[in-house]
Structure 1
Amino acid sequence: MGDRLSYTTGAVRLKVYVQGQGFPILCLHGHPGSGNSLSVFTNHLSRRYQTFAPDLRGYGKSRVNDNFVMNDHLTDLEALIDRFQIEKCLVLGWSLGGILGMELALRLPTRVTGLILVATAARPRGNHPPITWQDNVYTGIAALVNLLKPGWQWNIETFGKRSLFRYLIQQHTPTAYKYIAQAAVPAYLQTSRPATRALWQALQAGYNNIPELRQIQCPSLVLAGAQDFHITADSSLETARNLKDCQWQCYPETAHLFPWEIPDRVLNDIDYWLGAYPQITDIR
């Protein structure tokens, strides 16, 4: 694995974490998230490729104070690609990052060679149960204790399984909780109000990009968690069915953060797909 470097680029000075050498893979995080929350992918993929994981506008260390709209993310990402002189790249997007990945493939069809879409949809739909004050209390305690002692089984059993984490993961493993401590909680704390506002405005407007998907020509891999409450597996499947050259995988007994629940299986499936489509990462 190559050195982990960071850069700033674009009008809002995006923070970008770069690892490895080889064909470029642009890795886009969700909400709340940051470039660091994609380490489950970048640490693995950077052994063979060069990964770029930015903190999107308003997230992580890419700080902003002014309001913006979702299309501003695409402008930032196009500037990033130009800044690093990336002629072609594969895009991996998790949740919001997957939505942006599809939009980027529509905007830059000759530069995006493939899409890996994780827990995402072009017409995102959720089925999250109502949140109670007890949920918030248990989540706060579970998160704090997990920061102090990541993956502690007593905390998982006592507070974690009774917290809102139960809607983000189904397999309450120490590995998943360590990722939550290392990446999820810091990302949540660093997510700005303008970023949250931009996302909710798009969702409240009824975001639906299904009609445009047939324009995407590059191969796609769509991965979903069967018990995803935030973006349902059915909405991910709808996206997969509307992409021309797409493979679909749904993992049982997992939820929105399934790459942290079953990382080895997810990474193996990505490796297999990349092996089946060598033209995606052909540098020529």
Structure 2
Amino acid sequence: MDLNTKIKGQGFPILCLHGHPGSAASMSVFTNYLSQKYQTIAPDLRGYGKSQCQQNFEMREHINDLTTLLDKHQIDRCLLLGWSLGGIIAMELALADSKRFSGMVLIATAAHPLSSHPRPTRQDLLFTGIGGIINYLKPGWQWNINTFGKRSLFRYLVSHHSPESYHYLAKEGTPAYWQTSKAANTALSTAIRQGYNRLDDLHRINIPCLMLSAECDRHITAYSSQKTAQHLKNCQYKNYPQVAHLFPWEIPDLVLADIQKWLDQFRFGKE
């Protein structure tokens, strides 16, 4: 599939992969910064954003799409950066062709993802819908955050209910949610039901890796992220306290500083 793709900057390429629901636009917290020194390539995955797909597909087709994308742009070597589902796909790409990738940044993800998310109540769904609509129309409004946001499912996505994180939710999270196709939802739920687990295969990945997780992540627990990091041969791991699954939107400056420190350590593209 010919994926809709946003390319920014010049330099050593970084393939930036969004989560579920998500889109290339929802990776701006990374691409706006990293494109100052690198070339960032952020596609809408199959069934997401403007890469619409109505027919059912399996998760492995993401790998074929992305391999085709790299070939199209004649990218023989690059870095991987994946958030949530994007991190799982990044690991799958590295397992499929490790020689093509120089390193990997994994964010709120796991090779055997475990969730501690409670079953949503009717009030959760109602308050999430109302709060999401109001936030889309008036991003970061403190009254809405206090009245609906903190009492909705947003409380499992962010711990710092700051106007900044709610601006990200309005500008990038809500549009990505509405643009996620039924086929994409089906593909992910099928993989989860089948018990996705690639921990035993991670020993085949030898490239440098950075794993970042959140203490309060209920979607993909910090425990499962840490366990993944332990199975990777060359992985640095950091767990941020008092933040949740969308922590790059809660503490963007800290996250970007840690990624930059890791990039500087290995001098990718300069070896």
TM-score (norm 2): 0.99
Counterparts in 2 of 1:155-174, with a 5 A limit?
Answer: 155-174=144-163
* Alignment-mate amino acid for residue 69 of structure 1: E
Contact 1:233/1:250 (CA < 8 Å) preserved in 2? yes
Q: Secondary structure at the match of 2:218?
A: coil
**Shift in Å at residue 108 of structure 1?**
1.5
Aligned partner of 1:8 in structure 2 is none
Residues 93, 116 of structure 1: 8 Å contact kept = yes
Match of 1:239, SS?
A: helix
| Structure 1: distance between partners of 2:135 and 2:117 | 23
CA distance in 2, matches of 1:108, 1:28: 17
Letter in 2 for 1:281: G
Alpha-carbon distance in 1 for matches of 2:257, 2:100: 25
Query: 5 Å matches for 1:268-283?
Result: 268-278=257-267, 280-282=268-270
| Pairing 1:48-87 to 2, within 5 Å after superposition | 48-87=37-76
* Superposed counterparts of 1:197-236, under 5 Å: 197-236=186-225
**Alpha-carbon deviation of 1:13?**
2.1
Instruction: Quote the offset at 1:148 in angstroms.
Output: 1.0
Moved more, 16-25 or 105-114: 105-114
- Please say if residues 7 and 40 of structure 2, whose CA atoms lie closer than 8 Å, have aligned partners that are also in contact: yes
Task: Give the conservation status (yes or no) of the 8 Å contact 1:175–1:261.
Answer: yes
* Cα shift at 1:87: 1.1
Unaligned runs of 5+ in 2: none
SS of residue paired to 2:238: strand
**How big is the shift at 1:281?**
3.0
Alpha-carbon distance in 2 for matches of 1:277, 1:258: 24
1:43 aligns with 2:27: no
Q: Contact between 2:105 and 2:211, CA under 8 Å: does it hold in 1?
A: yes
CA-based RMSD of the aligned residues comes to 0.7
Determine the structure 2 residue equivalent to 1:258. Answer: 247
* Counterpart for residue 120 of structure 1: 109
Shift of 1:277: 1.1
SS at match of 1:91: strand
2:136–2:170 CA contact under 8 A, matched in 1: yes
Q: Which runs of 4+ in 1 moved over 2 A?
A: none
8 Å Cα contact 2:4-2:50 kept in structure 1: yes
Provide the identity percentage.
56
Q: Distance between the aligned counterparts of 1:103 and 1:130, measured in 2?
A: 29
Number of aligned positions between the proteins: 271
Correspondence for 2:231 among 211, 232, 242 = 242
Which of 94, 97, 107 is the matching residue for 2:96? 107
Residue 133 of structure 2 corresponds to residue 147 of structure 1: no
Are residue 98 (structure 1) and residue 87 (structure 2) matched? yes
- Supply the AA of the counterpart residue of 1:87: D
